[in-house]
Amino acid sequence: MRWLERFHPASLRSTVPLLCSTSRFALQAVSALRRSALALLLSTAIAAPTLAQIPPPPGQTRPITLPETIVTATGAEAGPERLPAGVTVITRRDIEERGYQTVAEALFAIPGVNLAATGGPGQQTSIFTRGTNSNHTLVLIDGVPVNDASAPAGAFDFGQDLLGDIERIEVVRGPFASLYGSGALGGAINLVTRRAPADRQVTAFGEVAGGSNRTVRTHAGIAGTIGTFDYLAVAQGFSTRGSDASAPRLAGHTGERDGYRAAAGTIRLGWQALENLRFEGLLRWRETNYAFDAAGAEDPNATGNDRQWLGVLRGEARLLGGAWTTGLRLSRSEFRRRSSNAPDEIDPFPFTPYSLFRGTRTAIDWGNRIALPDAPGITQAVLSFGAGHERQSSRTRGEGVTATDARAGAYSVFTGIEARLFHLLDVSAAVRHEEAEDYGGATTWRLGAVMPLESLGLRLHAAVGTAFRAPSLEERFGRSAFVVGNPGLREERGTSWEAGIAWRPVRQVELSATYFASRTKDLIVYDFSTFPGTSRNINRARVDGVEFGLEVAPIEALTLRFGWTVTEAFDDNTDLRLLRRPSNTITAGFRWQPITPVVVTGELRFTGAQNDIVYPGASGFGDRGVNPSGTVANLTASWRVQENTTLFLEGRNLGNSRWEPVNSYVLPGRNVLAGVRIAL
């Protein structure tokens, strides 16, 4: 299904006329601000060539920043209000209070993000960030890029990873290749794993839950600090018989369930060798088994296995009295995906009866941050620089799949500076060059500025930057009976900009609006004008949009939040809408704490009609068309019965929506889980 997520045109617009007309009005309104926003960006670039984040007052935390080779959780950091980007941080408390089970569920209500899931947990799930491609969002674990090198186009599957070992999820929207390299055209998502407490030698935590569809979810962990050593270990398990991912409206629907089983483990060890010298190691493993259906049809014999390993070794030293932080990191991630599809009466001749994908990423990174002395009008200046090398490999084989056996490497260098000007303007800039061993290279950059006007309750921000995606190994070297790789492919390139405002007229209310736009060229698509077909750089795309937000706390115990994202994403070659980019998404949520030990949270998401491959088509297969809109509502309640014991009840899809996030794949029906969470 990944090939469907490329830039295909579609011929019909949204079937929600009111929302569409309103979205066009909103885009017309914000487009009037575009020239002034660009003027602000240019003045920022002239004022100071700087980098992306600023050191904050002590104790604040930084959402996604530079990789951990450069900045750790104890380094100089900045809060979201200081960042010139669309930032959302999902904390451990959010994960527990809202009942998130997988990374995909945690992204349910993020502005500017559209999820495309082919069913429930364990099913292929992609995201489209601010209208960019599904392989234009880079995923990191503790700052280490983990997109699968063996995936046909390098997209990440968000339906597999569990959250028992995750402390927070940091989502940044916008181009961040200047910080992370290839793949971050639309944004970056960093999964930050849990850490050992510094004030206890041993602490234990865990939870167990069960409910609908014979679902059982559990995790258990232990962590602590003994002298100069700290440790953490977490084990996770998840099992469900699932629901039928194939839409009931399809002919031949049987109700066959697509089950999912997952196990995962994480170990982290740290040694504070000296006051200014630390070493750390991380080992993370996850394996899942699942059943899945074909697009537009049932498939009772299709099963898959997905396994991932990640290992990280890191050393960090603080020099010059702590002004200079330098770090070295070695990382390796391995993916193995296997699927099988035995013949059956529904599909006696499966196109891909067996496939095996193996991908690796091995990298070494060296990073530095130096706090510079203050100068007249310039404070909190930080210089960063570093270099790295990464090698990827992909080996795939099977019947009916593109065979690949290739590897490639790339070197990178980067630098940046960040500062506060005249105690009024936070400015930042970064530049990075990546030189590949076999396809050339790319230089990317990013400029940003934040201006807080505290007396007016206002915060203004603007940013502009470039990004790229290197062609995947399959796109360059894969071979099958129908497709041959193209070693001469160029990287996909994009330029994006944004400008936003947040206004807090009173402490209990905040309104925000951000205009964003991107232009992408040299997009890689399969060209079947010759036989066999091959990948070529022949597409261009344009995206314009607005993210609106409102947060209200009418009483101390209740917080309400609302979001509306308008996205206009088009294929520049055909002037037709891109697939799976709805013009409108609306989210709403609340957190209510009627009494101290009780918390109730709810989330609702409306996704407007979107262009997709629609089944059944006139040809008997899928044809381009419009996938109808849908609404999903979730509710979670928690009751802390003792200081270290919490009971919880989670309800998913309470309206029993039969909406299809990806056409022909339906949401799981209404389901409920109950459990207990313990922290000793």
The kind and range of the H/E element at 93 are helix 92-98
- Closest by CA position to 306, among listed 143, 123, 437: 123
Say which residue, 440 or 283, is predicted with more confidence.
283
Tokens found for residue 480: 């099958």
pLDDT at 2 over 50: no
Segment 154-164 mean pLDDT: 92
Quote the pLDDT of residue 407: 94
Say which residue, 323 or 26, is predicted with more confidence.
323
pLDDT digits over 254-268, tens only? Answer: 889 999 999 999 999
Least confident interval from 124-133, 397-406, 456-465: 397-406
Segment 481-493 mean pLDDT: 91
Quote the pLDDT of residue 80: 64
Segment 485-511 mean pLDDT: 95
Question: Can you tell me the distance from the alpha carbon of 367 to that of 184, in angstroms, rounded to the nearest whole number?
Answer: 19
Segment 450-458 mean pLDDT: 93
Quote the pLDDT of residue 530: 83
Say which residue, 297 or 553, is predicted with more confidence.
553
- Closest by CA position to 656, among listed 674, 633, 637, 636: 633
Q: For the chain, what are the domain ranges? A: 2-679
Quote the pLDDT of residue 527: 87
pLDDT digits over 53-73, tens only? Answer: 323 333 333 333 333 332 322
Segment 496-516 mean pLDDT: 96
Segment 506-531 mean pLDDT: 93
Question: Can you tell me the distance from the alpha carbon of 490 to that of 367, in angstroms, rounded to the nearest whole number?
Answer: 28
DSSP assignment, residue 490? P
Quote the pLDDT of residue 584: 97
Quote the pLDDT of residue 529: 82
Q: Please enumerate, as own/partner, the contacts of 529-536 that have beta carbons within 8 Å and a separation of 24 or more.
A: 531/482, 532/480, 532/481, 532/482, 532/483, 532/484, 533/482, 533/483, 533/484, 534/483, 534/484, 534/485, 534/486, 535/471, 535/475, 535/476, 535/483, 535/485, 535/486, 535/489, 536/486, 536/489
Question: Can you tell me the distance from the alpha carbon of 203 to that of 220, in angstroms, rounded to the nearest whole number?
Answer: 11
Quote the pLDDT of residue 15: 34
Quote the pLDDT of residue 282: 98
pLDDT at 299 over 90: no
Question: Can you tell me the distance from the alpha carbon of 98 to that of 652, in angstroms, rounded to the nearest whole number?
Answer: 10
Name the β-bridge partners of 450. Answer: 426, 461
Say which residue, 389 or 66, is predicted with more confidence.
389
Quote the pLDDT of residue 79: 60
Please give the mean pLDDT across all residues of the chain.
Answer: 87
Q: Is the pTM of this model over 0.95?
A: no
Quote the pLDDT of residue 37: 36
Question: Do residues 358 and 150 touch, judged by C-beta distance below 8 A?
Answer: yes
Question: Can you tell me the distance from the alpha carbon of 343 to that of 299, in angstroms, rounded to the nearest whole number?
Answer: 9
pLDDT at 613 over 80: yes
Quote the pLDDT of residue 399: 85
How many beta carbons lie within 10 A of that of residue 165, not counting itself? 24
Q: pLDDT band for position 153 (50/70/90)? A: confident
pLDDT digits over 313-344, tens only? Answer: 999 999 999 999 999 999 999 999 999 988 87
- Closest by CA position to 71, among listed 47, 45, 51: 51
End-to-end CA distance of the chain: 44
Quote the pLDDT of residue 56: 32
Say which residue, 60 or 409, is predicted with more confidence.
409
pLDDT digits over 469-484, tens only? Answer: 999 999 999 998 889 9
pLDDT at 581 over 80: yes
Segment 348-368 mean pLDDT: 90
Domain covering 2-679, topology: Maltoporin; Chain A (2.40.170)
Name the β-bridge partners of 316. Answer: 278, 327
Percent of the chain exceeding pLDDT 90 equals: 74
Quote the pLDDT of residue 528: 82
Q: pLDDT band for position 81 (50/70/90)? A: low
Question: Do residues 491 and 442 touch, judged by C-beta distance below 8 A?
Answer: yes
